[in-house]
Every structure is written in C-alpha cells, then in structure tokens.
Amino acid sequence: MATKRMNVLVYSGALTQEAWRANPNLMLSSGNGSTIESVRHCLYTLRRLLSPNYAVIPVTGDMLIKEPWTASCAALVFPGGADQGYCRTLNGDGNRRIRQFVERGGTYIGFCAGGYYGSKRCEFEVGDKLMEVVGDRELAFYPGVARGCAFPGFVYHSEKGARAADLKVDKTVLSSGAVPSVFKSYYNGGCVFVDAPKFKDQGVEVLASYTEPIAVDPGEGSAAVVYCKVGQGAALLTGPHPEFVFLGKPADDWSLTKPRFAAGNLESKSDVPGFSEVIRTLAVDEKHRMDFVKACLTKLGLTVSDEQNVPSLSYMHLSSSNPTETADVLSSLSHLIEKDERSEEYFKDENDTFHIIRPSTWRMVDLATALPAQTDGDEMVDQLDGSSDRIVDYNTVTKHIIVHDDDYPESKSTPYFNHQAFYANLHHYQSQLPGASNFGAHLLYGEVVTSTNTLLEKNTKLLRNLPQGFTATATVQVAGRGRGSNVWVSPPGSLMFSTVIRHPMAQMQIAPVVFVQYLAAMAIVQGIKSYDGRHYKDLPIKLKWPNDIFALDPAKAKENGGDENENYTKIGGILVNSHYNSKEYIAVCGIGLNTANAAPTTSLNQLTQFLPRDVEPFTLEKLLARILTVFDDLYARFLVTGFDEVMEKMYYEHWLHMDQIVTLEAEGGQRARIKGITRDYGLLIAEELGWEDRETGKRWTLQSDANSFDFFKGLVKAGAGTERTLGRARTPLLAKYVILRWSNRVEFRAGGWREKV
C-alpha cells in the first residue's frame, strides 16, 4: 500500500542542503533557476490554499536528486526564473526521478520558467543574440513547443515587461468550484504553448488562453495554461503567473504586496511607467485569479482547503513547574541580555532575536492589541493580524517571551493551552515515577511559532544555556521541520514539542547518544498507552524504524479488514538535532503527533473507536505531561544501563518489523529478514535469506539516514550520494566507525564528532 502523499515541494533554486542550512529560507538567487520573488509567491499561495492538508515546503536540487521524496510528495512545483538553471542542476538523474514520479501518479506544476521546463522544447526570444534560449527539454510533459515571450518588453530582473494579462478560461475542462470565465494574471516573460489543441489526443487540455495578440507564432490557439495527462499522473504548465498575489493594497505601496526579502534586493520601480496600474488591476481581480488556481489544483487531485490567512506569530510564555524557578532560567541567560534606550530587554541569537517581557511590563499592556514586532531597524515587519494577507519573513520578526515567575500563565493569555492542567498532570505523573523530575519542568509555549525545533536548535546561544529537559511547545507551527526534506504538518490539534537533552560525553560508551531517538519513540507509545491507567493500553499504535509513530487507520481497517500492518499509517515523527562541547552533547528532540486533528492522516482521538469501552478524548496538556515523564524515566534508566535487553524488549514490543522479509535494493534484490537493531549504534539487522527463505548466516547492518525503508513494499533502498552501509557484515572493530548521521548538525566518525560539511 502506498504511503500517503502529504508534501507539496517547491524547488527553491538552492543547489545543496548546505546552501539551505546557510540560509534556511532558501531565498537564494543562486543561478540554479528560480528567483527569490517567484519562490515566495509559490510558497505563500500554495500554503494559503492547501494547508493543513499538505505541507508546502521548499526543496533543493540535491534533495530532488538524492533523497527519498517521491513516496510522500503530492506535487512538485517549479516556480519562475530561468529554466536553463533547472537544466544545469537536474538534467540526467534529477529529471529521470521527476519524470518517473509523475508517470507513477505524481503531479508537476510549472509556473512560467517551470512551464518552459516542463515542455518538450523551449524557444525563448529566438533571434535575440543576448537572450535567445532554444533547445529540447528532458521532462517533455507538454509534447510540443513552449514559445516566448508571448508579449514584448521582457527584461531579466525587471518589471519593464510586466503586465496584467487577460486570460479566458475553458470552463468545460475546469468544472470544480467557482470558476471565472475570464481573469487577469501577472505576466512577465512567459510562453504560449504552441498548437496545444492539436495534442488533445495525447492528453493535453487547454485550461486558459490569452485574449490579446501574441508577439510570437502561437500555432493553433493561444494556450496560456495547459493540463497534461502523463502516465498515471499529470502536469499543470503556465505561461503567466496566476500564483502571484496582489491583495488590494494601495497601488503606490508595492512594498506591502511584494513578498519581503532583503532591502538590498529591492529594485526601484520609478523607471517602470504604468507598473502601479498593473498592480491596481491585478489587486482588483484577485478573487477571480485565486478561484482559477483553486480549480486547477482540484483538477490535479489536490485537496484545496477553505482559504485562511497565514497566521501571525504570537507571544510566547516562559513558565516553570515551580514558578519561582523561572528566574533561574533567566539568570542563566543574563549574560546574553542587553537593554535598549527604553530599558527593554533583548538578546540576539544566530537565527532569532528575542524580547524578554517581565511581569511588571506585560501586565500593563493589552496583549491582544500589542504592536507587531520590529526588525533590527525601525521598519515595521509585515505581521499578519487576520485582516491582512501580507507575506512575512518570520526570521526577521522579533520573538516576544513573556516571563511568568510567580504563577502559571492564565487561560485568557493562552486560550489553546491550559498551563494549570499541564503542570497538575506533570506533578501527578512525576509522583508515580520519582526519578522523572526534569523533562517539562520548564516550558516555553506559543500559540503560533515558527518551529519549536528551530527556536531551540538554531539559536545556539540560547540552547547552550538551557537546563536539562527544557521543553518548547506550540499550538500551530508555520515552519515545522522534519527529517530529510519532510516537514510535519501542524494544524491545530496536533501535539508538537521539542525537549533539550544534555547528554554527558562520559556516558557515550555505555549509552550512545544515537539512541535518544529510540527512547523518544518508546516514550510516545508508552505515554499514549498509559495515558490514564490501563484504559488506553489496547490502542493500535506501533513503531516504524527508525523513529516514526504509526497507527491503525480506521478507514483502511474498514476497507481492508483487520489489524494488518499494511493498514497502519503515520501519525507522528521524531527529529533529533545535536550540538556538542567538551563535556556533553546538547540534543534537541522534536516530536510531532496527530492527537485531535484528522488531517492529513488520522489522529489518536479517532483511534479510540477501536477500544472496547468509551474513553475520554486525549488532551494535549495531559498527553504532553505523560510523554515527558515517561521519556524522562526511560532516559534516566538508559544512562545507567544503556540499551540493554530490557530496553530492547520494550522497543520490540511495539515494533512493526520483527521477522519482516525485505528486499535489499543495493544488493541486487537480495531477500533478507529483519531481526532487530544492534545495541551499540541502533543499526537495523537484516539476515540474508537463501533457498526457501532459509537464513544463510550472512548479515547486514543498515543505518537509518543512508537507507530508506519502504515498509509497505518491503524494500530497503540505499540513499543516493551517501556512504553505503549496505553490504557484508562489518567486523566488530569496523562497525564502531559506521557513520551515524542521526542529526542535521553533527555526525559520528572514527575519532569523534564533527560538523557536517
């Protein structure tokens, strides 16, 4: 059974993951195709229309070439820019993967340059010696020629050729939702799809056509947007930019409607006569354009959500199990905090700037009407307040932390998280496990945050001064992070938190830090099953190697019958990142778990129907307290015993894989039986099978990040571009030096940890 497709990937134009880490927003004009502005418009519009059903995230060239993204991807999007950059990065292996992805049921969306790139042949400004681009393209979703520019005047990195193009919609092929007959779209350098009506018998449908005279030969028709059936999948290609957003702001205030990026990249528009009128025209027609985009996405099989504003970041609240101990957390940060001319307290870290608000200050202001955050200068950042649709660069927004050092936050300031209930349950569970006293003792909560993992792991000054078990949690994440190229979808109702674990260097021999992810997985399952005595012990929850949480999908169980493994679906994931110093590894363990939300897969509260008696639904506060205390208890035991037989038995108790027969792709399709994980570094153990599936005595040990485990297909794949760990069993000596890329920050080699390159 196929993995549910949850991600919509937007190609960012950054070639490598290293470039991404250097600039997490991926807004790099890197010469690899896409432009800053086009990527931002894609991300904003698609998130606006597809969240929370899909995670809309930027990806890099090497991710598309090397990582196992296809199984969880619903659509791959190529924004505007210059398609020659796409060719340089992806010709060959990259394009083969993309083509196979679409043929096997995936979706490709190409806006402007992405439309040229998705056609069989590109003809751009033929005869212009400076700008001419002519050549065949490998993807060839549209079987004809993409010819441009459709309208004259195009200049790279300029609005001189921009216009509000009139488009006529063929409503006979777009029948879903409120579809306009005509609409206006931003255009700047796009193509016309030559002779598109002639390719109808090859699965091509013209969704919209230009109504104005075309500057190049369009052949039959004047196709501006085409739908192409490709194998089991489909491609949507456009010449104009229907995804660009112009939301009715004043025509002369382009800075508010343009996606935000560094001021140095902004180009003056004073030399572009009439451009303000283009913006005004597009703003007036915004609804019609968005209705067209919705209809296109629906035709592609994507689930379009009720349109919502992208939420603004909220204030965060710092509290402690013992409120007076909140002052200790602040004291550990005192050397980082500086005061401005108004005696307001700030500290600037690697990724974010934090504003510390003391109780005497915040009680004097109405938090509901507090001003948006400001950047380092005096310029106001475009925070969204529910009445605005401006686009936000969240990394420039100052993060406000309200300190609670004499009581817990009141419900009126945190209406979606009851701190009283959380700490009451934490105290109750800690009384049952006397050794569990650290995890959750200090809590940072925000209703809307970027990412709990990013807030902790990307701000190293903050991280290095936080106590053991410090936890950050949120109701909504707007930039959630996941393993590889995946992002955990975080609609309200999912439990999201990140916990700081300071792991002593001296314990590495008996308790290797790589097992933190396994402990977290065990804590989640045990925490769920012991949520309220034994009432929840029979919930169908299991572990998928190395660190995913799976649950029996009610819809699949009803359709296919029974508690078979193939009826399980992912409801949670774990991401562990680590820093280190001379004495310890400082790990941030991030967890996302569908609790009360049905989308995008299923959730814990939907699973209670499998229990023999009615039970109360899970609450986020109580579940967080339970998982943290179990995690704390498991970790304390692990420091003493390591991953011993008892721990191993606990892990296997809820494992999906014991004795599963798999195929090892890198060994020529060799069949093997999964036997467990190694107790030294948590590698997956696979025993070779010979005649009649008898074990031959040969063994493989497989590391998680160099291999992907397609559970439903029983296929273990070697990750492209990584060191192979599939192969003959290593000797005990060599096994010690296997690369364990369990985090995004450090990796283990012979001789110790080092920064990844």
Q: How much is the pLDDT for 171?
A: 81
pLDDT at 260 over 60: no
Q: Which two tokens stand for residue 86?
A: 């796409």
* pLDDT category of residue 117 using cuts at 50, 70 and 90: very high
Q: Does pLDDT of 581 surpass 50?
A: yes
Rounded CA-CA distance 201/616 in Å is 56
* The CATH fold of domain 7-299: Rossmann fold (3.40.50)
Mean pLDDT of 45-56: 87
pLDDT of residue 591: 95
pLDDT category at 67 given cuts 50, 70, 90 is confident
* 560: pLDDT strictly greater than 50: yes
Residue 96: the pLDDT is: 96
Question: Tens of pLDDT along 641-695?
Answer: 999 999 999 999 998 888 888 888 777 778 888 888 888 888 888 899 888 888 8
Token digits for 428?
Answer: 């109750």
Pair of tokens at residue 403? 């300190």
Q: Are 492 and 598 in contact (CB under 8 A)?
A: no
Q: Are 147 and 115 in contact (CB under 8 A)?
A: no
Most confident of 115-129, 247-261, 382-396, 433-447: 115-129
Mean pLDDT computed over 186-191: 95
What does the pLDDT read at residue 402?
Answer: 95
Largest CA distance in the chain: 79
Residue (of 155, 190, 72, 87) closest to 488 by Cα position:
72
Q: Which of 639, 626, 615 is nearest to 525 (CA)?
A: 626
Least confident of 220-229, 240-249, 584-593, 710-719: 710-719
User: Quick one: how far is CA 7 from the chain centroid?
Assistant: 8
What confidence score (pLDDT) does residue 694 get?
87
Q: What pLDDT was estimated at residue 367? A: 42
Confidence of residue 504 (pLDDT cuts 50, 70, 90): very high
Per-residue b or e along 127-142, where b marks 16 or more CB atoms closer than 10 Å to that residue's CB: eeeeeebeeebbbbbb
Give the 3-state secondary structure of residue 406.
coil
The pLDDT, as a whole number, for residue 510 is 93
8 Å CB contact between 89 and 52: no
Radius of gyration of the chain measured on its C-alpha atoms: 27
Which residues are registered as beta bridge partners of 671? 663
Predicted confidence band of residue 609 (pLDDT cuts 50, 70, 90): confident
Greater pLDDT, 469 or 713: 469
pLDDT in tens, 279-333: 888 888 888 898 899 989 999 999 988 655 556 788 999 999 999 999 999 999 9
Residues of the chain with CATH 3.40.50.880: 7-299
Mean pLDDT, range 207-226, rounded to an integer: 96
The pLDDT score that the predictor gives to residue 349 is 94
Instruction: Decide which of 556 and 244 is more confident.
Output: 244
Total residue count of the chain as it appears in this document: 757
What rounded mean pLDDT belongs to the chain?
80
> At 325, phi and psi to the nearest 5?
-80, -10
pTM of the model as a whole: 0.63
Q: Taking residues 591-615, report their average pLDDT.
A: 82
d(CA 497, CA 522): 16
Q: Report pLDDT for 176.
A: 62
**Cis-peptide into 600, omega within 30 deg:** yes
CATH superfamily of 412-650: Bira Bifunctional Protein; Domain 2 (3.30.930.10)
Query: The dihedral of CA 560, 563, 566, 570: what is its sign?
Result: positive
| 192/112 Cα distance (integer angstroms) | 10
Nearest of 440, 436, 474 to residue 322 by alpha carbon: 440
